[in-house]
Structures are given as structure tokens and as C-alpha cells.
Structure 1
């Protein structure tokens, strides 16, 4: 929590980010990038701004309720919401715009009522509460509260260039304090507000910023030097680069995606990381997959999903996504799993993964696939949940191809 109030300049930057996200539909990280571009800010002040924006986004419905405004009017009333946020957190808002319009007696009345509504207090929209309760039952309440917490900063040591212990020492010399993450061999948690991406260690390709739960997913692939490995939904390649480290740069690592700009970004990251065995390929049609039939030792399918496990990191999606989107994603996941699994060779392993904690996208998809594909057998799966780990939420399932099948 902040110990002092935001100044007027920082308050305006918060307004800018909120308008970009809520009015223009920009992802939160893009909103930060645009708003901070060309603006000179000390690292600690930038951290303060992202803290306020993140907290407002995590509980946007609560803050709108306390301000007595409609959710759809949040961007237009951003300055008032910032004043209210200060009051909520016991900070003086007297010098901020709209401070004079704040109605303290009305706020106190609404605050008393809001404390009796756990769902509202946890910043959960109605559509999400319905899905969470239906799919997770009693476990949802703990997950809902865990998803309200700010995301921690985790790093993955690049095995091609360093070890976790060596990275920790290198970062400490630059004033970046970290601690080892229990149960995740490649991970460090950043415990200071130091700027990561201006560090010598980052420029030298010694680490990537990657959630510890995400690191567990790539770790489950268990890629070995000399293998042929496919990351079929690679995106910008965080897990691809983790796999490259597992392979020690030896063997063939194919990163595939349907969007070229993501693969272009991956190329730049791979160059910095020294991951020279990474090859990118656009999925232009089903023929791209057919040409790789029964060729891969490992296939990672980190499929498009609801992202309902990573709301700590992407709280803006709560106010953009709706329940109508989930069935569309579930059908897409099913199609990708059925089609892309053809690349796994006999004796090879398929790893299906999502950044969701909902069974409909996870074990239910795997069970459906196995029922229709007896040439695959189930090995094991893992639910990585925010309530149980403190990480972002992920799911992974390992399956082995035991015959060529149809």
C-alpha cells in the first residue's frame, strides 16, 4: 500500500491508463506502455502508478459502487475514482482534481453496505461469480479471494547463460533484490521495486520475466537436448525460450502461431537469450500441421483460453470478457487439441495447458480428447491455482501417443 498520496501528475497518468483500457479497449500492459512513453518517471513513481491502476482494476465494480456511478461510466469518472481510492486506503486526496466533489457521508454509507457483500468486496463481476461457483463449487471462494491479490514479479533464469543462483548474485550487484521460489527450480521472486528491463542482466539475456506457475508448465514438457519439440501456440514465446534452455540449445525447437507479429517478437527475444535452435513458423492452414504428422518428441499446446487463472496479472479482462466468450474458446481448444496432436510421434508426449482454473477448459477437455483418441494415454495432470500456490493459475496435462491411430 502507498504511504503517501499521488501527486497531480501521477494522478493524471492513472487517468490516462484507465481511459485507454476502459474506453479504447487496450490491454492493461499496452495502456501502461502508451501512457509512460516519453514521460520521465522515477522507477518508484512508476510502480506507485501501476499499483493504483492495478488496484482500481481488480475492484472496479466495488469502487464504482462506492462512487455511486455505473460501471460503464468508470472512465468518464476516473478522477473521482482516484479520489475515492485514496479515501478507501486512508490517504489524503485534498490536492487531487475532483477532491472537492467527494461526498464523504454518502461514501461511508455505501462502504458499510459493500462490506456485507463478499462478491462485490472481492471485485468479482456477476458473470464470473456464476461460472466460478458452477465449476469449482466451494473451492471458488478461496480462488476468488486469491485472484484479488496483486501479482508478484517472478523471473526465470535463462539456462543457456546462467543458473538461478548466479542470476540472483548478478541482480543483487545491480540493486535488484530477489528470493528463491520453493518448488520452481528456475524461478526467482523480485522483492524490490528496481527497474528490471534496464538492468545489465536483462540486456545480456540472463532472464525473462515469467510467472512461476507458467514456469511449471514449460518444466513439465521435460524437453531434452537433441529432441524435436514443437510449441504450437507459442505467442511471444516465454515458454518457448524456457524449452530452449531445457534443450541446452541442441535439437530442433519449432515455435508456431497464427499471428506473425508474435513470432517476430519471439525472434528478438530468442536472439537476446541465445536460443539459436528456435525456428518460427506461421500456421497458415491445416496443411502446416499435416506436414509435421508423427514427427515430434514433444508438443506443447498452451491453447487460447479464458485467462481466468491470470486475473491478478490481467484484471482488466474481468470488465471486458463475458460468459458468452467461454463456449467459443472451449470449442477452439477442442479443435486445436484434436488437430495439433497429430504432430506427436509414437512414444512422444503431448502437453495440454491453459492459464485457466476452470475444469471445462482443463480436465474436461482432456477427458473428452482421450475418449475420442485411444491412441493416446493419460500420464498425469496438475492444477496450479492461485489459492494453493500464490502464483497465477494454470492447468497442464501430459499424454503419451502409444500408436499411430486413425
Structure 2
């Protein structure tokens, strides 16, 4: 386990330093908590003075009750945990959707399809030829527009475990190139030169021609389309926290709206695609039997609509909502929104005295006495007329540079309470993957 300390030095520089590396017997929250505490104690660093903690998004780290961050919060209730927002968010959402068994099977089939099509130059060339034929047929039938930049020939992209947006791209590719994909799979099935590849192509073809595969394909396009904007926004080097937090709310609300009101329109879209490509559509009020885990002989009888609507549609969206709400807790969002009032970007446009005072009073009560809170508000009134108009500081782009500017211009002595609050915020707010933060 690597331990990294994040702190602001006396001159206002934000530092992150490798501190120690520790061998651990396991990665349970309790073990990690004990080992980190030992390291801090060995160097005479008090856990009670922590101002933040950050880890990856594993459940043993971020668990609300027994995760590592929760254990340290019991030692120090102001050691706020702010998970790196952009850290593999989309991959975490994909992992959440895979908790629905049919979706896990879908991704397995998707990988097979992409591998069969793109594994050799010969099959890839056949795929390109099939696309040209399909586009030509659509143009002749008047079902496809022509023009510059339209109807581009491409390939299927593999959903990668470490690449942003690759799953969404892969799903969209398959929808756009569905006919060409089926054509190439049929070519391979008719090719008697490679028996093993024929069998693999046959399995892939049977999967891609099933209603359940098409249903999940479009469902993931809908869900990932809603979350992809958020994932890309959170990767920006410079973030507007207020807009980012607003986008989290918008994404959650959009998913909730899809869950509550989107079933009929979504099913109609799937059935339209199936009719267009001659895929059998099951009767929704028919019976759908599912084997239980205890015995293949035991089955629960449900309607086909229940299977697709409840077991897949609702379940997939619910797992996404749980993931988003777990990663962006109300407390963390409030902390960052209030902290953004100190951000000097765009000429201190986010500056708000009431928000800054609320930040100090609500999130840092141990660092400010009641008298110091009164002093803070008085300093902020003078600060508002001074710093945003001071040539040296009015154009600083980040809070860390503002902190350094405070030291260099001796504003840290004039605005001691504001300087203290800025240092606290800098110590807590981060986007790094794995850090353990401590203010010294």
C-alpha cells in the first residue's frame, strides 16, 4: 500500500509527497486502517489533524459504514472523503450494469463479436465491403442521405477495461453497423476452411440475432449516452465545480426519468429496430420461465414483459443510480460547491461571502472559533474590494496559485482567516486517484 501526503507548505505551495509504502496482509478496510495509523503514529502525525482522505472507488475504500474512509471518519469527523470524480467513472458504471446477469452475458457476446470481425485483415476487409454494400442499398432505396462526411466506413471498437468511453463507442458502432456485422458473420459461417472459427461465428450470430441482445444493446446506448457527457466533463483538467455538480444532478434526474417514464418509448424503439432487421419479437404478455440458482428444475414463471422491464430495464438503471449516488454523496457535493466560492477563476465570479462563511462554520468547526468566524466575515468584506482588483492576484487561474500569491504579496498576514480556509480546502479537494491527505 502506497501512502501519499497532501499538504500546503508555509509559502502557500500545494505539495503531494510520497510518504511510505507498506506491506499488508490483505486489503480489508480494517487492515488498511491499522497500517496507516501505525505509519502516522511512528512519525508523530496525529490522525485527529487530518483534513481529507482519498482512495480509489473500491467498496472496501468508500463503503459508507465499514469502508476505510468511514473508519477514519470515526477517528476524525472532519477528515472528509472526496473520491476522485473522473477516476474510471464510466468503467464503474459499466461494472454496475454488469451486476445484471443478462448484461454480463451481453458484454461477453459483444467481445466475441468484435474479436471475430476484427481479428484478421481479411475479415476486416470483408466488413468494410459489407458496409459499402449496405450503404449503397440504403441510398438506392432512398433511406439514406448522401453528402460530405456522411456514411463513413469504419470498424468495431473493442470495449476496453482502461479506456474512457470505449464501451459506449463499441455499443454505438454495433448499432450503426449491425447489418454489415451480420453479413460478415454469415460469410464466416459458410466458410468451411476453419471449423473452430465457424463455431465461434455461429454462436456470435445466434446472440446478435436475439431479441434480448438487441434490447440490452439499445438499453446500454440509452444509459451510457446519459452518463457519457458527465464522464467527459469530469475529465477536464480545469473544472467548474458548480457546473460539474449540476451535471451530476442532471444525469441522475435523467436516469430517474428514463426509469419512470421511458419504458414505452424505449420498447417501441427496440421493436422498431427488430422489425427493420427481421428479428423475432416475443409476446410481452407471454410466459417467461427462468431457472433459479438452487436448481435448474425449479423455475419461477413471470411474463416476458416483467423479465425485460423489471429484471433488466429497471435493474440496470437502479444499479447506475446507486453507483452515481454513492460516488457523489450530498455531503461531498455540498463541500465542493461551497469551496468553489473561493475559486478565483474568471475574475472571482463565484465569490460569495455567505457560502464561504457557511463552509468554515459547517465543515471546519474545529479550525475556527466563534470569534474567528466573525473575523472571517469581516475579512471577506474587505477582501472582496481588494483582491479581485489587485493586479498581481486578479488573474490567477487556480486556488493553489492564489494561495501562493497570498504569501508573496503578504496578503496571508492581512487575511489570516481566509488564508487558513484556503489551505484547508486545498488539502481536502483533489482529483488524484490514490492519496492519503493530512494537513501539517
TM bucket, shorter chain: under 0.3
Please state which structure has a larger fraction of its residues in strand: 1
TM-score, normalised relative to structure 2: 0.24
TM-score when normalising by structure 1: 0.25
Greater RCO (CA < 8 Å, at least 6 residues apart): 2
Q: Pick the structure with more helix per residue.
A: 2
Which structure would you say has the larger Rg? 2
